[in-house]
């Protein structure tokens, strides 16, 4: 039976009640009472019809098997995992075995952290490594005399740089530095001996690599460039001598107390070459003494015979 049919049947069964009006146009008390009773009767009938409809729907769902299907589709309830209780380890009440030989000694603490040696770390940071070339690197006493100096320190990373601290490269107006091979703006040297492009050094390279001030060099009428003095340490000149390039080692040599890279190379390699020459001369003198002793022994044996 459809919803429309049931509602029509309910309407037909309900008696039509109209309030009786009195002569003066008002409704009497009997009419009001009957209207209230009719409204209560209508609400109870609606509840009965609603319950009947729910019952019929449940029976229909049961016949179709929808109730069992809905129960199967519900996910099973998962039991919450049991939390493991933290257990504190029981104290070891058994007597500790200690040898009588070590009972007087303090127990060893294996949890102590090793203290890093800051001096060894600094020495590793200041270690300078230059690969060996095809020829041994050494310098003469005359080259050490050609090391430059300056009266005023040169301020690095200012001349030839913009406001943001970036170096200005200009292929047209710039001048090529013999050391860094960059065509930049700023002060550059001019060699009074060769008067060639090899005598052009920018202010930063001249100060870091040779310990000289570019302004003082340009004011000196007898100034010679490092290639003319035989102390140039650029990559091209070093490879021409069979030596490997040094790389950027200015910060390390300055921490070691050297004025420039040239001062570090010449002073350290000069001492090494002196030691090699001393050891070689010592070996030669030892050989001479041995040969002289051998000749004297032979002369003595000849006299005995």
Residues of the domain holding 254: 137-279
pLDDT in tens, 238-279: 999 999 999 999 999 999 999 999 999 999 998 665 655 555
Query: Does any domain span residue 33?
Result: no
Q: Which residue has the higher pLDDT, 272 or 184?
A: 184
Residue 298 in any domain: the answer is no
Q: What is the mean pLDDT of residues 151-176?
A: 94
Residue 254, burial from CB neighbour count under 10 angstroms (0-12, 13-18, 19+): middle
Which pLDDT value is given to residue 59?
87
Site of tokens 């939390």:
83
Tell me, yes or no, whether 57 lies in a domain.
no
Give domain status of residue 54, yes or no.
Answer: no
CB 184 within 8 A of CB 171: no
Tell the residue number behind the tokens 């029509």, with chain if given: 8
What is the rounded distance in angstroms from the CA atom of residue 37 to the CA atom of residue 190? 124
Angle at the Cα of 19 (from 14 to 22), degrees rounded to 5? 160
Q: Are 223 and 159 in contact (CB under 8 A)?
A: no
With respect to residue 296, please indicate whether it lies within any of the assigned structural domains.
Answer: no
To the nearest whole number, what is the mean pLDDT of the chain? 78
pLDDT of 8 strictly over 90: no
Structural domains in the chain (count)? 1
pLDDT tens digits, residue range 107-134?
666 555 555 555 566 666 788 999 999 9
Residue 131 within a domain: no
Q: How confident is the model at residue 96 (pLDDT cuts 50, 70, 90)?
A: low
């Amino acid at each position: 039976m459809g919803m429309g049919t049931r509602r029509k049947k309910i309407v037909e069964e309900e008696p039509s009640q109209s309030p009786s009006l009195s002569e003066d146009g008002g409704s009497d008390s009997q009419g009001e009472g009957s209207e209230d009773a009719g409204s209560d009767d209508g609400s109870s009938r609606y509840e009965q019809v609603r319950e009947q409809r729910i019952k019929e729907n449940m029976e229909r769902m049961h016949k179709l098997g929808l109730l069992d299907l809905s129960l199967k589709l519900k996910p099973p309830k998962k039991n919450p995992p049991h939390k493991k209780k933290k257990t504190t380890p029981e104290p070891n009440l058994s007597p500790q075995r200690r040898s009588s030989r070590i009972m007087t000694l303090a127990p060893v603490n294996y949890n102590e952290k090793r203290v890093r040696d800051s001096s060894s770390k600094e020495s590793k940071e200041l270690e300078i490594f230059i690969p060996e070339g095809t020829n041994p690197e050494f310098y003469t006493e005359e080259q050490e005399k050609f090391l430059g100096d300056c009266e005023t320190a040169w301020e690095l990373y200012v001349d030839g740089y913009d406001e943001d601290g970036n170096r200005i490269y200009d292929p047209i107006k710039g001048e090529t530095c013999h050391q860094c091979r960059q065509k930049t703006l700023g002060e550059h040297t001019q060699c009074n001996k060769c008067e060639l492009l090899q005598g052009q050094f920018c202010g930063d390279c001249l100060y870091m690599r040779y310990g000289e001030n570019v302004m003082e060099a340009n004011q000196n009428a007898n100034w010679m460039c490092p290639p003319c003095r035989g102390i140039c340490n650029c990559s091209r000149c070093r490879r021409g001598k069979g030596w490997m390039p040094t790389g950027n080692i200015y910060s390390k040599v300055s921490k070691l107390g050297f004025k420039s890279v040239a001062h570090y190379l010449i002073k350290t390699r000069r001492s090494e070459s002196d030691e090699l020459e001393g050891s070689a001369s010592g070996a030669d003198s030892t050989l001479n003494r041995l040969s002289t002793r051998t000749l004297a022994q032979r002369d003595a044996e000849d006299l005995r015979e």
